[in-house]
Amino acid sequence: MPEPVRVGGSVPLALAIWLTGCAALSAVFGLQSFYPTWIGPLSNLFPAACAAIALGSVIQCINRYGFTLRTRFQAAWICFAVGFGLWTGAETIWATYYFALGVPIPTYSIADVFYISGYLPIFAGLVLYLGTFSVALERRRVAVAVAAMVLAATAVYLTVIPTEAAAGRTFLETIDDMTYVFLDLAFLSLVVLTFTIFVGGRISRWLVFMGGAAVLYVVGDEDFLIQTATGTYYNGSYNDLIFLLAYLTFALAFYLHRREW
């Protein structure tokens, strides 16, 4: 694991760019009534671009820490890159369905294979990162993480599960949807557990944004399941915006990690 060294770049500038990007995307979606025919194509172009920005930020971390598997810390960042590479591929495939194949909402498609596969290396990265600093893990902090996990699971049980049960899904569709539910809960749990180690510490700032991005991504995922189950999802809905904000926040989190290490 490398020693903490301050590297070039400006945190205030990065925060300003992040806020500007989030505000601009929010404005595009909020003003869509002025260009209703464009919001569909735009909402399918933006996700791949924003996911690629997050992937690029991870790759910069690898350049900073070294492209090697010799330590858990370095291996974690390679895992993150693979995961976000798969998510970028998933968003690109989704856009290909929309633009090339004329499928407006390609649920239960090849894109799902990439979305689901992307979780696994990200989980591995979080476990490796957590293992690097596990000596700092206290019972009290584990209890906080478990409490957060229970609250998240309860919220999903009360909102997503009843909607899915009433939607009349096929067995395979239900399996696919429940896979996302369990992966999202596991993702959120690992991020919260990692954050509990560093909360209040010198390098907790990047994890604040990592946690915020994870919450956005999980909320967007669960909301997407609810909307598709009830037939209310459409290209250009607020749900698409949630994912875009999540990707930009992931990108900022990784940038802040490079500044703190």
CB of 47 within 8 A of CB of 115? no
Q: How far is CA 202 from CA 16, 71, 99, 183, 207, in A?
A: 22, 22, 45, 29, 11
At 253 the pLDDT is 96
Amino acid type, 159:
T
Burial class of residue 96 (count of CB atoms within 10 Å of its CB; 0-12, 13-18, 19+): middle
pLDDT in tens, 101-134: 999 999 889 999 999 999 999 999 998 988 776 6
- pLDDT at position 5: 47
Query: Which pLDDT score is estimated for 164?
Result: 77
What are the start-end ranges of the H helices in 66-138? 72-99, 110-132
Task: Give residue 52's pLDDT band: very low, low, confident or very high (50, 70, 90).
Answer: very high
The stretch 171-194 carries a mean pLDDT of 87
- Domains within the chain, CATH numbers bracketed: 11-260 (1.20.1070)
State the distance between the two ends of the chain, measured CA to CA, in whole angstroms: 10
Lowest-confidence segment of 8-22, 50-64, 186-200, 239-253 by average pLDDT: 186-200
Q: Which of 162, 257, 258, 249 is nearest to 214 (CA)?
A: 249
- What are 136-181's pLDDT values in tens digits? 556 666 677 778 778 878 887 788 888 877 877 788 888 898 999 9
